[in-house]
Structure 1
Amino acid sequence: MNQQKIDKVFEQITKNKRIHEAVLFVENADGDFSCSKGYGGKDVDTPFLMASITKLFTTTCILILKEQGKLSLEDEVTKYFKDDTLSKLHIYKGKEYSMRLTLSNLLFQTSGLPDVFEEGSNNAKKRAIHKDMQFNFDEMITLTKQLKPHFAPNMKKRAHYADVNFDMLGKIIETVTNSTLEEVYQQFIFDPLELKSTYLLKNDCDFVPTFYYKNNVLYRPEFIKSSRASGGGISTARDLMIFIKAFFTGRLFDEKVFHELEFINRLQVSMFPIHYGAGLMSIPLNGFATLFMGKGELVGHSGSTGSFAFYLPSKDLFFVGDVNQISNPALPIRLVMRLAVSLKS
């Protein structure tokens, strides 16, 4: 019955004219139930851009370092960055909060910082659609300073999704470990889980998947290489399934941490119905977005290029895959919500 429902939802989503290729992989924790679907030549071993699912990998490293006692989420960012980097980064209603930001603000997206990727008339997403481009961390900080923050840190339990929060966490990881982010991912995640097809771009010879903007195929190696901690990862559905299971079942860090960091906040209206917690998205299934037909919640992350990796605790099911379309970031969310609601009984 579950197989038939999954087949039906996948067939419906791939009828969308914007979907040129897709892959879906569904399993329970024990692997007793496993289902994979491919479209347009993709399968569970086809590399694709993880985009913002990479944030789960960055979150993993932060939580491992926290567990090792090498950092605290209450640390202020002044511990890790020079004053000239932070100065004027966050000025809200004439008051500067730059030096008061904490790791928790970054991880929970409660800093109030703007998102250079989506915001502004010349945002990074628009520029990347038209041409490949490279930028470094300092340039990202400079661009962020040119935009206005949305609220003071921790203001009224608000959250605003911004890549710069995780770009900063990536730099903090490198500072604490005295290693590159690629090396830390390898040590903390890739090697323990034996992930053979998951990586951050390092060399010109590394394979770079293409992605679609409407009907156009885009190849953007420099942009992807620049995204790193916030969205530069590449993986396959098979590898990503191994990772998302490990993330939620305690193979990488003590899963009790989720009880310590369980508060979530609703993101900006443009990202409805997504809420955000400790480095991961939460999507309630019992509200208006599902016409009150679902129950429980999905937890995990999606990516702007159409990737997704979510866990449905109420059914003990994991959903990973990709619809490879950057023009509508809501597509993977809709797919996973439809799957979750169809499998409610």
Structure 2
Amino acid sequence: MENQKQKIKKVFEKFTKNKQIHESVLLIENSGGDFSYHLEYGGKKTDTPILTASITKLFTSTCILILREQEKLSLDDKIAKYFEEDTLSSLHIYKGREYSMDLTLSNLLFHTSGLTDAIEEGSNKAKKRAIYKDRQMSFDETITKTKQLKPHFEPDMGKRAHYANVNFDILGKVIEIVTNSTLEDVYKQFIFDPLGLKNTYLPIDEDDFVPNVYYKDTSFYIPKTIRSIRASGGCISTARELMIFIKAFFGGRLFNKTIFHELGVNNKLQAAMSPIHYGAGYMKIPLGGLVTLFMGKGELLGHSGSTGSFAFYYPASDLFFVGDVNQMANPALPVRLVMRLAMSIRS
């Protein structure tokens, strides 16, 4: 164990010398809990609030999978079952044919819808505006902006997957429609209360604390933006509570974990996100490919966030990695860190 800790510390200290990283926290534990090790940098601690960003998709996926177990929805359901035709009309038109009414919940969960991300792909300036200009955007506005962009492919086209936040924004709205409740209340009922998470929440008004996030050397406060992407990236947590959640997600405490075998399909995401694949609401990162010069073993399962957050399980060593590097300028940073950690302690 001490040898593992030394390897972890060496990777972490080398990584946090990166000029883009101003603060960071890392927590590593095994399933049994008899191994726990944390490292801190720049004043960030295991109980410091973290903007989890796209790790939120794991929370949304959890709710979808629980509702599926309760037989309140099916992944084969067309989203047309839950929305008015006016809402969906022209959402997905590819090569002159409309697929809007054919999209399924599965297409959204696996990112196989082909839909485009309005912020990331809308224009070269769209992402920068989202960072520098904090503004609220409603669900209807998100849908309208998505309709203005061309989809990448027809739904379920080959083995293609394209990561787009709008997929989970729609899933969040479906959760609210099915439960006749707010997303924050469903999170609380299905996840936060059962796991005893006291410092994990979806901010809903100006009184709810939202951490600052770095873009290069500047620290930004973007609470309106965060409240606009609740189901795809709006959750706040801590490293300590993310560890509880990620263990529960893959350990069967929230839903039957046989679902990972039942829904075992995963597809490679767009080239910009290589080597990440996407399964039923979670990322899968193989460690044995070209990116590691075939020296890795196994795979990482979980999610990273564009703000530098990460929550992954490494089955080959039975270890969970959670934490944050708090940097939006390079979304690959958290993935690179966890890959290096896994490679350094591979069994």
For normalisation by structure 1, the TM-score amounts to: 0.99
Name 1:327's counterpart in structure 2: 329
Give the 5 Å matches for 1:231-310. Answer: 231-310=233-312
Name 1:56's counterpart in structure 2: 58
- Cα distance between partner residues in 2 of 1:230 and 1:123: 21
Q: Say which of 145, 151, 176 aligns to 2:178.
A: 176
- Cα distance between partner residues in 2 of 1:252 and 1:123: 40
Give the 5 Å matches for 1:124-273. Answer: 124-273=126-275
Contact 1:51 / 1:303 at 8 angstroms: preserved in 2? yes
Contact 2:119 / 2:130 at 8 angstroms: preserved in 1? no
Contact 1:201 / 1:233 at 8 angstroms: preserved in 2? yes
Task: Please give the secondary structure, in 1, of the residue aligned with 2:119.
Answer: coil
Name 1:101's counterpart in structure 2: 103
Contact 1:107 / 1:165 at 8 angstroms: preserved in 2? yes
- Cα distance between partner residues in 2 of 1:19 and 1:270: 21
- Cα distance between partner residues in 2 of 1:202 and 1:94: 39
Instruction: Describe the superposition over 1:203-251 as per-residue Cα deviations: whole angstroms up to 9, x where unpaired.
Output: 2111110000000000001000111000000000000000000000000
- Cα distance between partner residues in 2 of 1:202 and 1:275: 31
**Counterpart residue identity of residue 341, structure 1:** M
Instruction: Describe the superposition over 1:247-279 as per-residue Cα deviations: whole angstroms up to 9, x where unpaired.
Output: 000000000111111110000000000000100
Structure 1 residue 125, shift from structure 2 partner:
2.5
Task: Please give the secondary structure, in 1, of the residue aligned with 2:38.
Answer: strand
- Cα distance between partner residues in 2 of 1:117 and 1:25: 31
Query: Where do 5+ consecutive residues of structure 2 fail to align?
Result: none
Task: Please give the secondary structure, in 1, of the residue aligned with 2:26.
Answer: strand
CA RMSD of aligned residues (A): 0.8
- Cα distance between partner residues in 2 of 1:143 and 1:203: 24
Q: Say which of 71, 74, 93 aligns to 1:72.
A: 74
- Cα distance between partner residues in 2 of 1:130 and 1:59: 29
Structure 1 residue 144, shift from structure 2 partner:
0.3
- Cα distance between partner residues in 2 of 1:320 and 1:328: 18
For normalisation by structure 2, the TM-score amounts to: 0.98
- Cα distance between partner residues in 1 of 2:125 and 2:142: 11
- Cα distance between partner residues in 1 of 2:293 and 2:18: 21
- Cα distance between partner residues in 2 of 1:191 and 1:229: 18
- Cα distance between partner residues in 1 of 2:132 and 2:65: 37
Matched, 1:82 2:84: yes
Structure 1 residue 135, shift from structure 2 partner:
0.2
Name 1:314's counterpart in structure 2: 316
Structure 1 residue 123, shift from structure 2 partner:
5.8
Contact 1:116 / 1:123 at 8 angstroms: preserved in 2? no
Name 1:336's counterpart in structure 2: 338
- Cα distance between partner residues in 2 of 1:120 and 1:230: 17
